[in-house]
Amino acid sequence: MNLQLHAGYFSIKNPLQLIDRWLNPFRLKDSVDIRGKKLEIMYSNRALTALNERDSPLIAELQLYFTCVVQKRVNFHEHSELETITANPKLSIAYHTVQSNNCDPVEFAEKHPVKKELSSKGAQAMRPSLLKIDHKNGQWIGDFYI
């Protein structure tokens, strides 16, 4: 039997990732209400440590981005003009659904251009339910689930 750990859908890309997940698990810490739906926020141990060291709140922008494909993005900002919801004194959340200017793969990959925010009933119904935040090698990393 030839076991190929790196070839399948459930493959282990890098065994060190398993050790990292074990040492830095995500824990539920906060929740906020976004458009009438609860968003649970989970932090890794590294993220909690980095947030607690901050003097000002970090802004996590959750963006459901419609272009050639639909993409979920989490951008982190020190300052922003976006409307935010306070999760705790160290973290604020902004969420919006946006449409790109066009479907040019190069433009999309490099700049993620935004044409407009979507305000239709269908777009408003799409809301995140879980946000995971990590801080690794000096960089904020986030992922959210609808």
Using an 8 Å Cβ cutoff, are 96 and 115 in contact? no
Mean pLDDT to the nearest integer, 20-46: 86
Would you place residue 113 in the very low, low, confident or very high pLDDT band (cuts 50, 70, 90)?
low
pLDDT for res 5: 46
Domain annotation covers residue 54: yes
- Domains: count for the chain: 1
Q: Which domain holds residue 89?
A: 25-145
Domain annotation covers residue 7: no
Check whether 137 has a pLDDT greater than 80: yes
> CA torsion sign, 17 to 127 to 92 to 81?
positive
pLDDT for res 3: 47
Domain annotation covers residue 40: yes
